[in-house]
């Protein structure tokens, strides 16, 4: 048995994985600078990393993945619970024994000739009671390099595991990278994950989607908290008061941009602080509020579209110590992607000479991995063990039509229905068609580790768990007019909507009561410095009752898939909304 840990379960698991996968050697990761330097040298030697221009981008590397392995693979992602109904219609399901047998056969001898890395990690600040630990075993040095940035990885995490005795087991092998032999399997009851055949982000960095969302959502349900696909930001007013907001948007809908928003010029003295850009764990505090941590330590952001205009803070973070995956490069070896600026790239994301006939130079789902600490707007409260108190929860989607700029749910239960009814046009973050409207409840469709009906019941139960719950809001930055142009400028100007939301939370601003919820009176939105006519604003805030009735029919049809398990309170909310619309 290995002497690398005093935790017997961990030592035994590592030994059994080694027997199955037969690595050439085993390396326990400590997270030290020397270890990172050695790994980087190895990655450069194997060609998994290419150094970028050391003058403009010191410590930055480019990784080009297999062209068949560039996004999450939802059709190959499984929740393996003893009862199929517990995974729900929202997940692919496989019986645990069958799943283990299938994937273990693929792991047999998979690490021959390779190093097996053992990565102890902590999701959340190392000293926070809200944090949870895991161990990822992987044969990919690229995964280790990413996990080092995305989690608190190494010796302190192992010490916590040894103290607490519990951890999530994540086994990952790149296998032969064949999509035919690729599976991402979750065993919530066993608190374990098995992933093979992909080296890409969400499939391979098991702390992120697999642990912090799919397994954690199950853990959160059992333990009375929430694991959500949400950014967390702090909004500081000129008076120095900071409100924290959590917001759920489907993948690649601008969560990173919103989390790092720079207020417009007219908002002197206002400041947005970034706590997290993707995942939020919240639990009721003794004061009855929800307190949240960002379980991650870095950003795995979508590169295309990130620019000085859309997200200056993200861009400022990317000039040192960043891993770029599947971006293009310029002739002086700087990273480049569509939307960055008007330079012409030299090489595309497959390392070919750039030719527009081959499509975009950077893959649309190309990414940067960078420490949160590199971000100029990073909040020091992101390291606070108690987390931050949440004043508002925002749901949003990418909707060209119907859905107004902002509305507020009438109650918590109504808010849960608003979240459950979220829909969005699909993006490149997952494989499959782009631009199709799909239901993405709470932006958790790809990430909820159990039956959505039980998940909504869990959300509804928070009225009994917390006495001072945040307000729930819905936003849509993506509405288009009949000419096909966006009606709202978005980005920094989203601050105007955030200000209204905070005003609602502290009772300083009124609202119009409409059939779908509370909405701003046009004068309540601060439009200083923005060229927008009253007609444009009215169009952005219009409630098309007929359109909403049709939407309600589609929502009812969608929810009906959950049958008897759908909480009665949801049906009740739906019926009362329909009544107020007709
Ligand atoms: C992500 C995603 O990578 O949601 O954050 O796909
Ligand atoms: Mn995400």
Place of tokens 């392995």: 69
Residue 1 pLDDT class (50, 70, 90 cuts)? very low
Tokens 């059709």 correspond to 75
Looking at residue 2, its pLDDT comes to: 47
Where do we find the tokens 């003295």? 269
Q: Tokens at residue 53, please?
A: 């221009």
What pLDDT, on a 0 to 100 scale, did the predictor assign at position 432?
Answer: 73
Residue 21 is inside which H or E element, if any?
helix 8-21
Q: For ligand 1, say whether the CB of 321 is within 6 Å of any of its atoms.
A: no
Asked if the model's pLDDT at residue 3 lies above 80, the reply is no
Helix (H, G, I), strand (E, B) or coil at 22: coil
CA distances from 54 to 50, 284, 335 (A): 11, 46, 11
Q: What digits encode the pLDDT tens for the residues 284-309?
A: 999 999 999 999 999 999 999 999 99
- Provide the pLDDT for residue 252: 78
b/e code 408-427 from CB counts within 10 Å (16+ = b): bbbebbbbbbbbbbbbbbbb
Q: Report whether pLDDT(339) > 70.
A: yes
Residue to substitute in 72, 200, 211, 259 for testing ligand 1 pocket (most ligand atoms within 8 angstroms of CB): 72
Q: Whose CA is nearest to atom 3 of ligand 1?
A: 202
Which atom number of ligand 1 is nearest to the Cα of residue 255? 5
Which atom belonging to ligand 1 lies closest to the Cα atom of 429? 6
**Quick one: average pLDDT of 410-430?**
90
**CA–CA separation, 140 vs 153, rounded Å?**
15
Q: What is the mean pLDDT of the chain?
A: 96
Antiparallel, parallel or unpaired: β 168-173 and 132-138: parallel
Residue 325 has pLDDT above 90, yes or no: yes
Q: pLDDT grade, residue 428 (50/70/90)? A: confident
pLDDT at 437 over 90: no
Residue 427 confidence (pLDDT) above 80: no
Residue 529, judged by CB atoms within 10 A of its CB (0-12, 13-18, 19+), counts as exposed
The first and second tokens of residue 132, run together, are 């949870």
Q: Residue 114 pLDDT more than 60?
A: yes
In this structure, what DSSP letter does residue 353 have? B
Q: What is the mean pLDDT of residues 166-182?
A: 97
Segment among 87-96, 157-166, 435-444 with least mean pLDDT: 435-444
- Kindly tell me if the per-residue pLDDT of 317 is higher than 50: yes
In angstroms, rounded to a whole number, what is the distance separating the alpha carbons of residues 581 and 471? 22
Tell how far the Cα of 202 is from the centroid of ligand 2, in angstroms.
9
Ligand 2 centroid distance, CA of 237 (Å): 28
**For residue 4, what pLDDT is reported?**
94
- Ligand 1 neighbour 440 (Cβ under 6 A): no
State the pLDDT confidence band at 210, using cuts at 50, 70 and 90. Answer: very high
Q: pLDDT band for position 22 (50/70/90)?
A: very high
Q: How far is the CA of 520 from the centre of ligand 1 (A)?
A: 31
Whole-angstrom CA distances from 559 to 87, 405, 504 are 16, 24, 29
pLDDT at 350 over 90: yes
Q: Which residue is listed with tokens 């645990």?
A: 96
State yes or no: pLDDT of 473 exceeds 70.
Answer: yes
Cβ atoms of 255 and 206 closer than 8 Å: no
Dihedral sign from CA coordinates of 36, 41, 46, 48: positive
- Identify which of 71, 204, 209 to mutate to test ligand 1's pocket (most ligand atoms within 8 A of the CB): 209
For the ranges 102-116, 130-144, 434-448, 463-477, the lowest mean pLDDT is seen at: 434-448
Choosing from 29, 80, 133, 253, the catalytic residue is 253
> pLDDT above 90 covers what percent of the chain?
94
Q: What is the pLDDT of residues 242-260, one digit of tens each?
A: 999 999 998 878 899 999 9
Residue 429, ligand 1, Cβ within 6 A: yes
Can you tell me the mean pLDDT for 407-432?
90
Average pLDDT estimate for 257-278: 97
Mean pLDDT of 493-504: 97
- Rounded mean pLDDT of 226-248? 97
Report the residue count for the chain.
Answer: 582
Residue 375 annotated among the catalytic residues of the structure: no
């Amino acid at each position: 048995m290995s002497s690398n840990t005093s935790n017997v379960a961990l030592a035994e698991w590592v030994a059994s994985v080694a027997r199955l996968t037969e690595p050439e050697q085993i390396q326990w990761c400590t997270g030290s600078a020397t270890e990172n330097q050695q790994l980087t040298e190895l990655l450069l030697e194997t060609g998994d990393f290419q150094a970028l221009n050391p003058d403009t981008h010191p410590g930055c590397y480019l990784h080009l993945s297999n062209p068949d392995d560039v996004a999450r693979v939802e059709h190959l992602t499984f929740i393996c619970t003893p009862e199929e109904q517990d995974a729900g219609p929202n997940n692919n399901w496989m019986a645990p024994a069958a799943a283990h047998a299938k994937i273990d056969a693929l792991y047999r001898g998979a690490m021959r000739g390779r190093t097996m890395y053992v990565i102890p990690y902590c999701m959340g600040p190392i000293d926070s009671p809200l944090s949870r630990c895991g161990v990822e075993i992987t044969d990919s040095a690229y995964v280790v390099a990413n996990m080092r940035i995305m989690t608190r990885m190494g010796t302190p995490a192992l010490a916590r595991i040894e103290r607490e005795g519990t951890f999530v087991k994540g086994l990952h092998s790149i296998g032969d990278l064949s999509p035919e032999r690729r599976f991402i399997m979750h065993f919530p009851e066993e608190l374990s994950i098995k992933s093979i055949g992909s080296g890409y982000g969400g499939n391979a960095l098991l702390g992120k989607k697999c642990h912090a969302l799919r397994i954690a959502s199950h853990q959160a349900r059992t333990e009375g908290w929430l694991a959500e696909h949400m950014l967390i930001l702090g909004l500081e007013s000129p008076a120095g008061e900071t409100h924290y907001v959590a917001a759920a948007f489907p993948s690649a809908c601008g969560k990173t941009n919103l989390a790092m928003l720079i207020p417009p010029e007219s908002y002197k003295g206002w400041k947005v602080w970034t706590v997290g850009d993707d995942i939020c764990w919240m639990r009721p505090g003794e004061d009855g509020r929800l307190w949240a941590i960002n379980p991650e330590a870095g950003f795995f952001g979508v590169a295309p579209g990130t620019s000085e205009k859309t997200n200056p803070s993200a861009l400022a973070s990317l000039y040192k110590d960043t891993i770029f995956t599947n971006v293009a490069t310029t002739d002086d070896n700087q990273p480049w992607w569509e939307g960055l600026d008007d330079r012409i790239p030299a090489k595309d994301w497959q390392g070919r000479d750039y030719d527009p006939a081959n499509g975009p130079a950077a893959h649309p789902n190309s990414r940067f991995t960078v420490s949160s600490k590199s971000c100029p707007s990073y909040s020091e409260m992101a390291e606070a063990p108690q987390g931050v108190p949440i004043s508002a929860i925002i749901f949003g989607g990418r909707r060209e039509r119907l859905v107004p700029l902002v509305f507020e749910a009438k109650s918590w239960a109504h808010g849960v229905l608003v979240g459950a009814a979220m829909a969005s046009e699909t993006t490149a973050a997952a494989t499959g068609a782009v631009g199709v409207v799909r239901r993405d409840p709470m932006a958790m469709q790809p990430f909820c580790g159990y039956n959505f009906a039980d998940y909504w019941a869990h959300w509804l139960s928070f009225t009994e768990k917390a006495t001072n719950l945040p307000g729930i809001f819905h936003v849509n930055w993506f509405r288009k007019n009949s000419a096909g142009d966006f009606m709202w400028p978005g980005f920094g100007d989203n601050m105007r909507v955030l200000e209204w939301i905070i005003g609602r939370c502290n009772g300083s601003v009124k609202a119009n009561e409409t059939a779908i919820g509370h909405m701003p009176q046009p004068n309540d939105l601060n439009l200083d410095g923005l060229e927008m006519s009253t007609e444009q604003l009215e169009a952005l805030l219009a409630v098309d009752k007929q359109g909403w009735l049709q939407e309600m029919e589609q929502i009812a049809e969608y929810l009906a898939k959950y049958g008897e398990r759908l909480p009665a309170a949801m049906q009740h909310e739906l019926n009362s909304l329909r009544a107020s619309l007709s």
